[in-house]
Amino acid sequence: MSVKKTISAISWRLNRVFMAFGNLFSLIIRCFTKVRKGRVMMWAYTFKQYSCNPRYLTEYLLENDTEFEIYWVFRRKVDISGIDKKIRCVRYLSLKYFLLVNTAEFLITNARTDPYRMYWTKRSGQKYLMLWHGGVALKKIEKDAEDKLKYSYLKKAKIDSRVCDLMISGCRFQTRLLKESFWYSGEILEKGIPRCDIFFDKERHMEFDRRVRSTYSIPESDRIILYAPTFRADHSIEPYRISWDKVIPELEKTFKGSGITVLVRLHPVLIGKVDTSSLLCCRNVVDATSYHDMQELMCVASMLITDYSSSMFDFGMLGKPCFLYATDIEKYNRGYYFRFDEMPFPLGRNEDELLENIRNFDPEEYGTDIERFFDDKIGMVENGTSSKALSEWMKAHRLS
C-alpha cells in the first residue's frame, strides 16, 4: 500500500473514532438535559455562511418574535464579525455546540444534514426544518438524478427527509418536486421561501448596495454585474472562464457608458476547494465567493450571468436581465426540468452567443416572458410574507 493510501486509511479510521466519540458525548448530554422551549439553532451550507433562508427567517424573528432564543453555528474559520450582535454565534464542535444541538427546540438549515456526522439524534420535542437552498430548479436533483449522485449523499438525503418536520415551497412546481423527488412525505408550507422576501423590500436594497460597494471598493458610478455559475462534480473551473476584456466593453455600451464591476460568485460548496485567481483576469473583476449572502448580491446587481443555477429564477423575480452562459451543456447534462428555449433567459453556448444576446436584449419582451413563465409553468406564490408564515408555524408548534 502506498504512503498516500496508508495516510488516507488512518485518517478515515481516526475520523470514524472521533464521530463515534462525538455521538457518545451527545448521548451523555441528552441524559442530563431537556429540550428548551423557544431555543432555535440555525446554520447554512454546513456551517459555512450566514445566508439563505435561515438568515432571512432569523432577521424576521429578531424583529417580530423576541420570544425565540436564536443561535447560529459556524465553522471556526468563518468570519462572523459583521453578524448582528443580537444573534448568539457558536462554533461548530465546541462544547456549546454539543449542548445546543441536543437542547434546541427548532433546528433549521438550508441543506441536507447527516445527523450522525453532526452528532445529533432527534429527541422528543425537537422540530427539524430543512429550508432547501433552491426554489425552482432547472437541473434535475435528488431522486430525479439518483444515478448521478454518490451513495453517501443518497443515504444522507433519505435520512434527512425521514427526520424532517417541515419543508417549504415558493411555487406549485417546487411543491410537486418536494413530494415526488425528495423522499419526503411530511408537511410542506407553500407560502414562499424566506430568502425571496427581501426582493419585496426595496428599502433594504439601498443598505445592501452600500455594504457591497464598501466591501469591494466599488465606485458609485459603476454598474455591478454578478457572475454566479453552479458547481461541477469534479470541481473544475474551466467552464467558468469568460474573456471579460471582450464582454465588459459590451456591457458598458448596454449601460450607456457606466463603469462595470463584475463580482464572480462561485457555489458555496467550492469554498476553500478551488483557486479562483485565474478567473479574475481584469482589474474590475472581483471574487465575491466568500461574501455571506447571495441575495444581497442579487439585489444590488444590474445583471446576472449564470449557467444552470436556480439563482436565475430568484433573479427573474427582480425583473432584471439574466443571461445564461453554458459552454458544457452536453457534458454537464443531468437532465433538465425545462427546455432552455421555454425559459425567459437567453442562452449563450459560447462567448459570441453571450455577446449577441446582450446586444439584442429586449426589456419589454423579457418582462412579458418572465411573467408568463412564472404564472403558467411554475405557479409562483411569492409575495414577501414567507418568514411571517414560518414564524406562525413555529409558534403553533412550540412546546406547551
- Percent of the chain clearing pLDDT 70 (strictly above): 97
Determine the pLDDT at residue 152.
93
| pLDDT (tens digit per residue) in 292-346 | 889 999 999 999 999 999 999 999 999 999 999 999 888 877 789 999 999 999 9
CB crowding 63-92: b at 16 or more within 10 Å, else e: eebeebebbbbbbeebeeeebeeebebbbb
Cβ–Cβ < 8 Å for 178, 167: yes
Give the three-state DSSP class for 280.
Answer: coil
- Percent of the chain clearing pLDDT 90 (strictly above): 79
Determine the pLDDT at residue 266.
86
Summarize the confidence of residues 186-211 as an average pLDDT. 96
Q: Where in the chain is the domain with CATH 3.40.50.11820?
A: 33-197+384-396
Q: Which residues pair with 348 in a beta bridge?
A: 325
Q: Is the pLDDT of residue 257 over 90?
A: no
Determine the pLDDT at residue 292.
84
Domain 33-197+384-396 has CATH 3.40.50.11820: yes
Summarize the confidence of residues 99-120 as an average pLDDT. 96
Q: Where in the chain is the domain with CATH 3.40.50.12580?
A: 204-378
Q: Is the pLDDT of residue 1 over 70?
A: no
Q: Is the pLDDT of residue 276 over 80?
A: no
| pLDDT (tens digit per residue) in 5-64 | 677 777 778 888 889 999 999 999 999 999 999 999 999 999 999 999 999 999 999 999
| pLDDT (tens digit per residue) in 62-109 | 999 778 999 999 999 999 998 988 999 999 999 999 999 999 999 999
CB crowding 187-208: b at 16 or more within 10 Å, else e: ebbbbbbbbbbbbeeeebbeeb
Q: At what angle do helices 386-396 and 52-64 cross, to 10 degrees?
A: 70
Distance, CA of 77 to CA of 183 (rounded, Å): 34
Residue with the three cell numbers 462595470: 260
Determine the pLDDT at residue 270.
66
Mean pLDDT across the chain = 92
Distance, CA of 325 to CA of 216 (rounded, Å): 24
Determine the pLDDT at residue 100.
98
Distance, CA of 328 to CA of 322 (rounded, Å): 18
Cβ–Cβ < 8 Å for 42, 128: no
| pLDDT (tens digit per residue) in 347-386 | 999 999 999 999 999 999 999 999 999 999 999 999 999 9
C-alpha cell belonging to residue 229: 455559475
Centre a 10 Å sphere on the Cβ of residue 260 and count the other Cβ atoms it contains.
22
Q: Is the pLDDT of residue 188 over 70?
A: yes
- The alpha carbon of 256 is separated from its chain's Cα centroid by a whole number of angstroms, namely 33
In order of 43, 115, 130, the CA distances from 186 in angstroms are 21, 18, 11
Determine the pLDDT at residue 4.
66
Of residues 273 and 56, more confidence is placed in 56
| pLDDT (tens digit per residue) in 200-237 | 999 999 999 999 999 999 999 999 999 999 877 777 77
Summarize the confidence of residues 157-178 as an average pLDDT. 97
CATH of 204-378, one of 3.55.40.20, 3.30.1490.20, 3.40.50.12580, 3.40.50.1000: 3.40.50.12580
Residue with the three cell numbers 479510521: 13
Cα pseudo-dihedral 114, 77, 225, 84, rounded to 10: 90
